[in-house]
Chain A
Amino acid sequence: MEEFIRGPLVWIAFAVFFAGLLLQGWLFFRNTSPRQRRRLAVPEPKKKKPQKDKKTPLTPAALYAWLVNGSSACYQRHWPRLRRTVLFTHPFMTVVTVVFHTFLFAAPLLARAHNELLRRGLGAGLPSLADAAVDAMTLVVLLCGAIFLWRRLLVRRVRAITTFYDYLVLAITLAPFVTGFMAAHHWLDYHTVILVHIGCGELMLMAIPFTKLGHMIYFFLYRFLLPGEYSFGQGSRAW
């Protein structure tokens, strides 16, 4: 059992992870088709010809003026939409979420122990950060996870749509980080903890394509490819 978790199951987990993501991506493209713009008589956006810039004299004053004008024009164009995004309506949650996701990826990818295993297994690994840095990232991930849990339990409107499934997925996501931290610091019996850590990591990897954690790719597919008021761009596909 132990050998299985440390051995073949690692490969299986990664295979399921990558294949699962590819499968979900393929299913998305199979279930959508290119949006038939012509049928809706939506005019094709005219390709903007690159304007020949008037030569700006390279004086500091001129450059400064260009910078100020450019950024003010940019601000005026984008501010109304930016103001309506979640960054401004829910600043705390947005920051917590962005930080959480950044370190969620960074901590495992840049951990020395993981990269050592990669080097042994595949011959090459990613650059690693110092242990203290990875520890800090892990703790931040756990802190953000605790914030998510607090929201689920105590914020009325979140509780209104929370189910057991939400707690389960949160547990699956945080378990590798808890056990990883414990293993790195040799808390309790290292042998058992590291085994649990590996198992939790495999579980999480396999869960990603088939649970709501699939938003890992779906965020990008939905926001970039499906049209909508908040989509990035016009959206080229429809269900």
Chain B
Amino acid sequence: MAAAQQATVDTGKVKDLLAAHRAEMKRYLSHCMHCTLCAESCFLFMARDKDPRYMPSYKVLNSLGVLYRRRGRVERSFLEKIKKIVWRNCVLCRRCYCPVGVDIPRMIALARAVCRSQGVYPDFDEQGHQESWL
């Protein structure tokens, strides 16, 4: 695990994963209307004083959205950054509502899969987190 943390990102693997889901990913990302009507459907958004960073659309656009725009060419530090977005800021409860019908949890799960493919995932027995993964 420590060795994996030092390794560079296998961009080919990331690109393959993104390519396998290209159709839905491209369409969902481009058809997001940026309307923020999904916000109130996320209980984390409501529990965190309506912080915009917990909006489902924000979470997707700043994790998978960036991955898509950069065509999968990212650094490990970027994956560590979005690890916080897609794991700590989202529990994949699948309650988010989108008036257009964008499957937001699917996008979060895809971002998580990209992270997992590079060995980036939460350690549930890590002590000393300010905010737990749970």
Contact = CB atoms under 8 A, between A and B. Distances in A.
Interface of A: 27-28, 31, 84-86, 89-90, 93, 155-158, 160-163, 166, 211-212, 214-215, 218-219, 221-223, 226, 228-231, 239
A228 B105 CA distance: 10
B29 to A, nearest CB: 10
Interface stretch (B54-62, B75-83, B111-119, B123-131): B54-62
A83 to B, nearest CB: 12
Interface string B82-124: 0000000000001101111111000000000000000000000
B5 interface: no
Contacts of B35: 93, 158
B129 to A, nearest CB: 25
The secondary-structure label for the interface of chain A is helix
A239 B22 CA distance: 10
A216 to B, nearest CB: 10
B15 to A, nearest CB: 18
B30 interface: yes
Given A89-B41, A90-B37, A161-B34, A31 B101 contact: no
B46 to A, nearest CB: 11
Contacts, number: 82
B24 interface: yes
Interface of B: 21, 23-24, 27, 30-37, 39-41, 50, 52-53, 55, 57-58, 61, 94-95, 97-103
Contacts of B61: 161
Contacts of B97: 84-86, 229-230
B52 A156 contact: yes
Contact of A157 (B31, B36, B98): B36
A214 B100 CA distance: 10
A118 to B, nearest CB: 30
A212 B30 CA distance: 6
A161 B94 CA distance: 21
B55 A161 contact: yes
24 contacts: A31-B23, A93-B35, A93-B37, A156-B52, A157-B36, A157-B52, A158-B35, A160-B52, A160-B58, A161-B36, A166-B34, A212-B32, A212-B34, A214-B31, A215-B33, A219-B101, A222-B102, A223-B101, A228-B103, A229-B95, A230-B97, A231-B101, A239-B21, A239-B23
A119 to B, nearest CB: 35
A158 B103 CA distance: 19
A89 B38 CA distance: 10
